Amino acid sequence: MVSHGLALVSLQPFAVDEETGEMWEPVDEESLAMLEAVLWRLDIEWAVGQLSEAQQAVVAMVYEGCTQTEMARRLGCSQAAVSQRLRRIGEALRRLLGL
């Protein structure tokens, strides 16, 4: 039987034959890059999910491509307040992601 997983130290995909313990290397760099991108996206989605609903609403506006002026109008606050919120959200995401 063959099991699959991720080597946590190097994020290299591998397969292990449970009888022999033999491990196989990744097939190509493109597959590895795609896997790393998917894992990073899942980490980001998890981290955004840890934010408050108000912070998630601001993140959604960023993804929509809103300017700080538009965000301020929607939120009913000043651009300075939007800048402050964005800075705090960035700090929270960096902390959650261990960056």
- The CATH number of 51-99 is which of 3.30.70, 1.10.287, 2.170.150, 1.10.10? 1.10.10
pLDDT tens-digit map of 65-90: 999 999 999 999 999 999 999 999 99
Task: Give the start-to-end residue ranges of the domains of the chain.
Answer: 1-50, 51-99
For residue 17, what is the enclosing H or E element?
Answer: strand 12-17
pLDDT tens-digit map of 1-47: 333 444 444 555 566 667 777 766 655 778 778 888 888 888 899 99
pLDDT of residue 24: 64
What is the rounded CA–CA span in Å between residue 33 and residue 29?
6
pLDDT of residue 82: 95
Q: How far is CA 37 from CA 31, 44, 51, in A?
A: 10, 11, 22
Bridge partners of residue 4, in order along the sequence: 15
Average pLDDT, the chain: 82
What is the rounded CA–CA span in Å between residue 74 and residue 3?
50
